[in-house]
Amino acid sequence: MAAPFYPPRQLYYGGKIQPATSGDVFRTIDPSTAQPLADIHTASHADIDSAIASAQEAFRSWSTTPPIIRSRILLKAVQLLRERNDEIAKVETQDTGKPFSETSTVDVVTGADALEYFANLVGGGGLNGETVQLREDAWVYTKKEALGVCAGIGAWNYPIQIALWKSAPCLAAGNTMIYKPSEITPLHGLILAEIYTLAGLPPGVFNVVNGGGPVGAYLTSHPGIAKVSFTGQVSTGQKVASAAAGGMKYITMELGGKSPLLILPDADLDLAVDGAMMANFFSSGQVCTNGTRVFVPSSMLAAFEARLLSKMQHVRAGDPMDPQTNFGPLASEAHYHKVLGYIRHGIDVDKATLLYGGPAKPTNIPPRLAPGYWIAPTIFTRCTDAMLLTRDEIFGPVLCILPYSTLGSAIARANNTPLGLAAGVFTKDINAAHKVVAQLQAGITWVNAWGESPAEMSVGGWKMSGVGVENGRRGIEAWVRGKSTLVDMSGGVGSVFRKWEE
Residues 102 and 239 both lie in one domain? yes
User: Which backbone phi and psi does 70 adopt, to 5 degrees?
Assistant: -60, -40
Catalytic member of 92, 254, 393, 470 = 254
pLDDT of residue 93: 98
Instruction: Tell me which of 233, 255, 277 is where a domain ends.
Output: 255
pLDDT in tens, 418-452: 999 999 999 999 999 999 999 999 999 999 999 99
| The 260-263 sheet, strands edge to edge | 353-356, 378-381, 398-404, 293-297, 260-263, 422-426, 444-447
Residues 284 and 227 both lie in one domain? no
pLDDT of residue 495: 87
For residue 4, is it within any domain? no
Its pTM stands at 0.96
Q: Is the pLDDT of residue 277 over 80?
A: yes
For residue 39, is it within any domain? yes
Residues 288 and 425 both lie in one domain? yes
Spell out where 117-270 has E strands: 131-135, 138-146, 149-153, 176-180, 206-208, 227-231, 250-254, 260-263
Q: Is the pLDDT of residue 272 over 70?
A: yes
Residues 58 and 195 both lie in one domain? yes
Instruction: Tell me which of 221, 255, 289 is where a domain ends.
Output: 255
Residues 228 and 170 both lie in one domain? yes
Distance CA 422, CA 417 (A): 12
Residues 326 and 223 both lie in one domain? no
Residues 215 and 331 both lie in one domain? no
Q: What is the mean pLDDT of residues 119-125?
A: 97
Q: Please, are residues 97 and 32 in contact by the beta-carbon 8 Å criterion?
A: yes
Distance CA 410, CA 58 (A): 53
Instruction: Tell me which of 255, 284, 300 is where a domain ends.
Output: 255
For residue 493, is it within any domain? no
Q: What is the mean pLDDT of residues 182-189?
A: 98
For residue 488, is it within any domain? no
For residue 482, is it within any domain? no
Residues 245 and 264 both lie in one domain? no
Residue 485: burial class (beta carbons within 10 Å; 0-12, 13-18, 19+): exposed
Residues 95 and 166 both lie in one domain? yes
- Which DSSP string corresponds to 278-339? HHHHGGGG--TT---EEEEEGGGHHHHHHHHHHHGGG--BS-TTSTT--B---S-HHHHHHH
pLDDT of residue 2: 63
- Known active-site residue 254: yes
| Total Cβ atoms within 10 A of residue 72 | 14
For residue 452, is it within any domain? no
Residues 191 and 72 both lie in one domain? yes
pLDDT in tens, 51-72: 999 999 999 999 999 999 999 9
pLDDT of residue 3: 66
pLDDT of residue 1: 53
Can you give the length of the chain in residues?
Answer: 502
For residue 358, is it within any domain? yes
| 270: CATH | 3.40.309.10
Residues 224 and 320 both lie in one domain? no
Counting the structural domains of the chain, the total is 2
Q: What is the mean pLDDT of residues 193-198?
A: 98
Q: Look at the alpha carbons of 203, 207, 209, 210 in this order and tell me if their dihedral is positive or negative.
A: negative
For residue 373, is it within any domain? yes
Average pLDDT over the chain, rounded to an integer: 97
Residues 204 and 267 both lie in one domain? no
pLDDT of residue 499: 87
The domain of 416 spans 260-447
| 83: CATH | 3.40.605.10
